[in-house]
Structure 1
Amino acid sequence: MFNLSEIVAQIPINVYVLVGCLVAGWLMKKFLPTDNKFIPLAMVILGAIVYLLLEGFSVENIIIGAFTGAASTGLHQVFKQYIEGKDLASTNGDGSKAEDFEADPIEERSDK
């Protein structure tokens, strides 16, 4: 059988880099006049740089750091949705209700 704790233990994410990127992204959002669409890219770059400084230079460390920075962006979105009380399963990702839209709109055809 699969042991989830062993699988999670093999994921090479540095918690300090994750939390640092999460805080840096929040600070950018609150205090810098930056367009929000650039924050995830900045977190990927910051995560890669910080992880390189902690673990040393290698291509693998660049990739791990970049994924850690991206994970901080996703973690921020999960916290944000949770705090705002939005049910992620019942929304379309933009805050609108899922039932407001048809899953597969079919145009009515007239066979006359």
Structure 2
Amino acid sequence: MDFLTLFQDHFVIVVTLACLLVGYLIKKASFFKWVPNDDIPVILAVIGVVSNCIVGGLSFESVIYGAFMGVAATGLHQGFKAFVEGNKNNTEGNKNNTEGDI
């Protein structure tokens, strides 16, 4: 199977993973510390739009899907982070809350 054919068949996954990688680099790289965390989803949405328009052509549908893939990459990062780190706030809250304990 040709790489280009594979890319075109699974471009949704590729664009989302590319946005996830770029978002991770922005978050962790020392030379991107000037970028506020609130701007990362917007940057990934724009990268998703550009990437999806390159693959699928310029259309309203490509713009919407690309923005969704960029923002989905942000959600994937947050979900994975919560899974790996666990819910620290919930466990600390249970230690201080003694109501209902026997």
Taking structure 2 as the reference length, the TM-score comes to 0.72
Find out whether 1:96 has 2:97 as its counterpart.
no
Q: Distance in 2 between matches of 1:42 and 1:80?
A: 20
Could you tell me which runs of 5 or more consecutive residues in structure 2 were left unpaired when the two chains were aligned. Answer: 1-10, 98-102
Q: How far does residue 35 in structure 1 lie from its aligned partner after superposition? A: 1.1
Q: What is the aligned partner in structure 2 of residue 61 from structure 1?
A: 62
Structure with the largest fraction of helix: 2
Could you tell me which runs of 5 or more consecutive residues in structure 1 were left unpaired when the two chains were aligned. Answer: 1-12, 87-94, 102-112
Find out whether 1:26 has 2:24 as its counterpart.
yes
Q: Which has the larger radius of gyration?
A: 1
Q: Which amino acid aligns with 2:78?
A: Q
Q: How far does residue 26 in structure 1 lie from its aligned partner after superposition? A: 0.2
Q: Distance in 2 between matches of 1:96 and 1:84?
A: 11
Number of aligned residues: 82
Runs of 4+ in 1 over 2 A off after TM superposition: 95-101
Bigger RCO (CA 8 Å, 6+ sep): 2
Q: Which amino acid aligns with 1:30?
A: K
Q: Deviations over 1:44-96 (max 9, x none)?
A: 1110110000110101100000001110000000000011022xxxxxxxx53
Q: What is the aligned partner in structure 2 of residue 8 from structure 1?
A: none
Q: Distance in 1 between matches of 2:72 and 2:12?
A: 11
Q: Sequence identity of aligned pairs in percent?
A: 36
Calculate the aligned-residue CA RMSD, in Å. Answer: 2.1
Q: Distance in 2 between matches of 1:41 and 1:21?
A: 11
